[in-house]
A and B are shown apart, each in its own frame.
Chain A
Amino acid sequence: MKIAVCVKQVPEGAARRLDPATKRLDRSGEGALNPFDAHAVEEALQIRDAAGEGEVVVLSMGPQKALDSLRKALAMGADRAVLVSDDALAGSDLVATSGVLAKALEREQADLVLLGQQGSDSDGAVLGASLADRLRLPMFSQAAELTVEGGSIRGKRQTEFGYDVIEAPLPAIVAVSDAINEPRYPSLKGIMGAKKKPQETLSLADLEVESGAAGEEGSKTEVSTLGDPPPRGDSRKIEDDGSAAQQIVDFLAEKRLL
């Protein structure tokens, strides 16, 4: 069984900002594997290992240094990494990103494509459904449990009304909930081994995608202005030095909540 996992590198901590000039997410600072995607990688590893055979390919579209995040997935145990990277990709929105990643996935012909529930930088939770439409594959999202059996995949998904159980024949696309598993930490051996695993970087030309179909040019949405959030009332932040509990009590008393 071949499983492809779509993973994304996201800006971390204080490096998270929108660039006022391009109005795009600033991807120049510290980056990390999107935490939601570690769950998708873990699930793929568990499915592969339960089957006792198969391959887990991790796939990302992003700047060259997104390789770091792919390597983390390799260190966790994935077998191979593919990065789609090209200057012409900057500023890609959902339409452009799904077009490019669909091409990369077509080359792989995986039995199962897994995604994380959402990008921590975009909060979209939308890419899986777009990919499914482009690849003409069945999909479902928000899977909190998955079982693969007899050529199909079954999952439990939470919606506004409670839990559904959905089944789809393979090949299929599934976005997983962040509660589906506890992602493993890469071992030292895993980290060392990751360097030797196959890692491929593809350009748009390699995928036969015209540069006009990607990046800002291939995008159908735009950001026109950036503003500050509305001012908030007085809010306080303290660091616990042993007295936090007392400070909370004082605060509640002041607000007449005790």
Chain B
Amino acid sequence: MATLVFLEHHDDELQKGSLGVLSKAASLGDDVTGVVLGSGVAPLASGAGKFGASRVLVVDDPALEAPLPQPRVDALAQIVRDRGFDTVLFAGSVLAADTAAGLAARLDAGLNWDLTDLAREDGRLVGKRPALEDSVYADVGWRGEPRLALFRSGAFDPSETGGEAEVEEVSVSFEDFSQAAKMLEQAHEERSGPSIEDAEVIVAGGRGLGGPENFKLCEELAEALGGAVAATRAVVDAGWYPYAAQVGQTGRSVSPKLYVACGISGAIQHKVGMQSSNVVVAINKDPNAPIFEFSDLGVVGDLHEIVPKLTELVLARKGS
């Protein structure tokens, strides 16, 4: 099998998730090639050898400078066609998902997403895909080649097993429509504010709070418990709370002793950031909310009633 792994980079570093996928691919015993797409990225390529790439292809082109998906589809489509890769793997990210989905359409190729593992069973490649808020575990496969797979973020840790990779520069051409979207301002780390990564207790708020002013309910409870406050993407995107406090795929990953989720539905993209918490308590008024699937204590009720009472009781207990 000839496997290609999309190596995402940011701030002159290959991303950990991509290197994890690379290590996974190498562990299956295939011949694994990495691909780095960007502008001024050639120096990054050789670093992938350690994680199992026997070869790294580099496309260094100003059209690939901004982290936008469509020029990447052009580049990957040409590489996959010209070199006959039968499998293309992506570590889950906003850029990778759009790139993989565009490539699926371009090549009429099957894309399985949100995979947590990949195995070879009786000579066939099988993806492991938890579905419906992880209430069902499906084995998924592909009909025809190439097979495209997008892994859930954080699915694999990188492991240093390989050696030197042979680096090869490739040039490609780009479609006009692929270059029509322009990056006007590229994200810089907005990591100001207190760190939630070290907190032993986290009280997290979601859209169920009803408005930015109600974050004080979380803040008061967090203070009583000696913890920090976190948020979902929905409320960060809405401007209720700073990005630095966001937990999930596109925010931070946390693993406190206690995670209290208030008014959070529990989308997969949120779950991946908090699933290694020791104890999870969730308060949500919808008995069908997915968060209850991974809570140690699930409370069906109105957070506006429960949270202030809880804060009072915790303070009373501490005072006594």
Contacts and interface: CB of A to CB of B under 8 A. Distances in A.
Interface of A: 13-14, 16-18, 23, 93-95, 98-99, 121, 123-134, 136-142, 144, 154, 157-169, 172, 177-180, 219-230, 232-240, 244-249, 251-253, 255, 257-258
A18 B132 contact: yes
B180 interface: yes
Given A222-B140, A229-B135, A160 B101 contact: no
A232 B133 CA distance: 14
Which of A98, A124, A159, A221 has the most chain B CB atoms inside 10 A of its CB?
Answer: A221
Contact of B142 (A134, A178, A221): A221
Given A164-B187, A179-B233, A223-B139, A240 B305 contact: yes
B302 interface: yes
Given A179-B234, A179-B237, A246-B313, A18 B184 contact: no
B279 to A, nearest CB: 5
A167 B184 contact: yes
B109 interface: yes
A228 B130 CA distance: 9
B141 A258 contact: no
A255 B301 CA distance: 22
Nearest to A255: B279
B110 interface: yes
Q: State the 3 A-B residue pairs at the shortest beta-carbon distance, nearest first.
A: A240-B301, A220-B110, A179-B237
A190 to B, nearest CB: 24
Nearest to A162: B187
Nearest to A125: B97
A123 B268 contact: yes
Nearest to B77: A133
Given A93-B110, A126-B101, A179-B235, A222 B141 contact: yes
A144 B137 contact: no
A178 B236 CA distance: 11
A233 to B, nearest CB: 7
A226 to B, nearest CB: 5
A236 B69 contact: no
Given A140-B68, A169-B180, A238 B131 contact: no
Interface string B64-98: 00011110010000000000000000000111011
Interface string B17-59: 0000000000000000000000000000000000000000000
Nearest to A258: B317
Contact of A144 (B180, B237, B296, B312): B237
Given A138-B70, A165-B183, 4 more contacts: A133-B103, A229-B135, A244-B306, A258-B314
5 contacts: A161-B187, A163-B187, A177-B237, A226-B138, A244-B306
B181 A168 contact: yes
B300 A94 contact: no
Contacts of A125: 97
Contact of A23 (B93, B112, B138): B138
B302 to A, nearest CB: 7
B10 A178 contact: no
A158 B189 contact: no
A251 B223 CA distance: 19
Contact of B108 (A131, A220, A226, A257): A220
Contact of A167 (B97, B136, B182): B182
B216 interface: no
B144 interface: yes
A159 B67 contact: yes
Contacts of A252: 258, 281, 314
Contacts of B130: 229
Contact of A163 (B73, B190, B267, B279): B190
Nearest to B307: A245
Contact of A223 (B138, B178, B314): B138
B104 interface: yes
Nearest to B128: A227
A221 B137 contact: no
Nearest to A178: B234
Contacts of B139: 223-227
Contact of A251 (B181, B187, B281): B281
B119 to A, nearest CB: 12
A158 B140 contact: no
Contacts of A162: 187-190, 243
B105 to A, nearest CB: 4
Which one of A94, A225, A255 has the highest number of Cβ atoms from chain B below 10 Å of its Cβ? A94
A221 B140 contact: yes
A246 B297 CA distance: 13
B295 A235 contact: yes
Interface in B260-299: 267-269, 279, 281, 283, 287-288, 292, 294-299
B186 A229 contact: no
B102 A95 contact: no
A95 B132 contact: no
A220 B141 CA distance: 9
